[in-house]
């Protein structure tokens, strides 16, 4: 493996300098150099190909476009080692490259220039306060997806709690003496377990339900009297 701060060209130059000192057979030295250089080019070509599949795309699946793409791959990896398979929907191209030690399979998007992929619109989260029957004034302020009905959210939450206490983490907590309660569950359950069912934990600690006490409404005469008193003062 070449040093971290050494370029490929510098590494090959060093190899070419060192090999004659390691063997007096010029043909062996030349063969080793050629094989190392070939392996470096292969590694570079694989990295470039995978980066292109991750970030790039083909503009279309027209024969000329596919032929040009295939020609470049064949130059890098050999004609017999490359296989292209268009997706049935025409939105992607599957690529298989056979290497001496492994086979690379990847998928390349087909996207016309200027065409943006439609982003998945996620439903917003809305408040989902929950309380236990034994203490209805104590609320856990959770959240649910807007498209998830409250009753469905409640059933999902109950199911997640049942499953949590059967997990390794839940069983371990019970062995250590933790109370098998909703409070312990909501404080310990992984956020991903809630998110997968369209739920979210806003606060681990519950909030006490606040009741607003409002006095009787004032009559117009009372309001007018108070205003006159204020002006006279």
Count of domains observed in the chain: 3
pLDDT of residue 223: 61
Residue 203 domain-assigned (yes or no) = yes
Residue 20 domain-assigned (yes or no) = yes
Each residue's pLDDT tens digit, 17-36: 887 888 878 888 888 888 88
Residue 218 domain-assigned (yes or no) = no
Q: For helices 26-55 and 8-22, what crossing angle results, to 10°?
A: 160
Indicate whether 23 and 84 sit together in one domain. no
Q: Across the chain, what does the average pLDDT equal?
A: 83
Q: Which of 21-30, 206-215, 218-227 ranks highest by mean pLDDT?
A: 21-30
Give the tokens for residue 94. Answer: 């599957």
Indicate whether 129 and 199 sit together in one domain. yes
Indicate whether 37 and 72 sit together in one domain. no
Indicate whether 204 and 129 sit together in one domain. yes
Indicate whether 30 and 6 sit together in one domain. yes
Indicate whether 82 and 50 sit together in one domain. no
Phi-psi region of 96 (alpha: psi -120 to 50; beta: other; left: phi over 0): beta
Of 55, 72, 98, which closes a domain? 55
Each residue's pLDDT tens digit, 118-168: 555 788 999 999 999 888 888 889 999 999 999 999 999 999 999 999 888
Each residue's pLDDT tens digit, 159-210: 999 999 988 888 988 998 888 999 999 988 988 889 988 999 887 788 888 7
Locus of tokens 């970030």? 55
Task: Tell me the pLDDT band of 116, cut-offs 50, 70 and 90.
Answer: low
Indicate whether 199 and 133 sit together in one domain. yes
Residue 153 domain-assigned (yes or no) = yes
| Structural domain range at position 49 | 1-55
Indicate whether 48 and 66 sit together in one domain. no
More confident residue, 215 or 137: 137
Residue 120 domain-assigned (yes or no) = no
More confident residue, 223 or 36: 36
Cα–Cα nearest to 201, from 130, 135, 96: 130
Indicate whether 43 and 5 sit together in one domain. yes
Indicate whether 99 and 129 sit together in one domain. no
**Helix, strand, coil proportions of the chain in percent (round to 5)?**
50, 20, 35
Residue 118 domain-assigned (yes or no) = no
Each residue's pLDDT tens digit, 65-107: 999 999 999 988 988 899 999 988 888 899 999 988 888 889 9
Indicate whether 51 and 61 sit together in one domain. no
Indicate whether 144 and 189 sit together in one domain. yes
The Cβ of residue 128 has, within 10 Å, a number of other Cβ atoms equal to 20
pLDDT of residue 158: 92
Comparing 7-16, 60-69, 193-202, the range with the smallest average pLDDT is 7-16
Residue 33 domain-assigned (yes or no) = yes
Chain centroid to CA 37: how far? 37
Burial class (CB in 10 A: 0-12, 13-18, 19+), 91: middle
pLDDT of residue 16: 79
Residue 223 domain-assigned (yes or no) = no
Residues 54, 36: contact at Cβ < 8 Å? no
Rounded to an integer, the average pLDDT of 106-118 is: 74
Query: Which H or E element spans position 224?
Result: helix 220-232
């Amino acid at each position: 493996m070449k040093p971290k701060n050494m370029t490929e060209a510098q590494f090959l130059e060093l190899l070419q300098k060192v090999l004659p000192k390691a063997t007096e057979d010029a043909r062996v030295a030349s063969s080793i150099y050629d094989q190392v250089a070939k392996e470096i080019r292969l590694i570079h070509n694989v990295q470039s190909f995978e980066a292109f599949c991750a970030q790039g795309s083909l503009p279309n699946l027209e024969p000329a476009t596919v032929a040009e793409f295939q020609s470049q791959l064949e130059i890098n990896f050999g004609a017999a080692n490359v296989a292209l398979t268009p997706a049935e929907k025409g939105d992607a191209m599957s690529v298989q490259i056979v290497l001496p030690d492994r086979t690379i399979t990847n998928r390349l998007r087909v996207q016309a220039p200027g065409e943006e992929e439609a982003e998945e619109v996620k439903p917003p989260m809305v408040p989902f306060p929950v309380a236990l029957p034994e203490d209805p004034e104590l609320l856990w302020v959770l959240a649910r997806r807007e498209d998830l009905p409250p009753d469905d959210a409640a059933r999902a939450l109950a199911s997640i709690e049942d499953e949590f206490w059967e997990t390794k983490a839940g069983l371990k907590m019970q062995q250590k003496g933790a109370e098998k309660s909703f409070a312990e569950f909501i404080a310990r359950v992984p956020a991903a377990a809630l998110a997968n069912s369209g739920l979210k934990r806003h606060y681990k600690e519950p909030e006490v339900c606040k009741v607003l006490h409002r006095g009787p409404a004032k009559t117009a005469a009372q309001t007018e009297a108070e205003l006159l008193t204020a002006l006279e003062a």
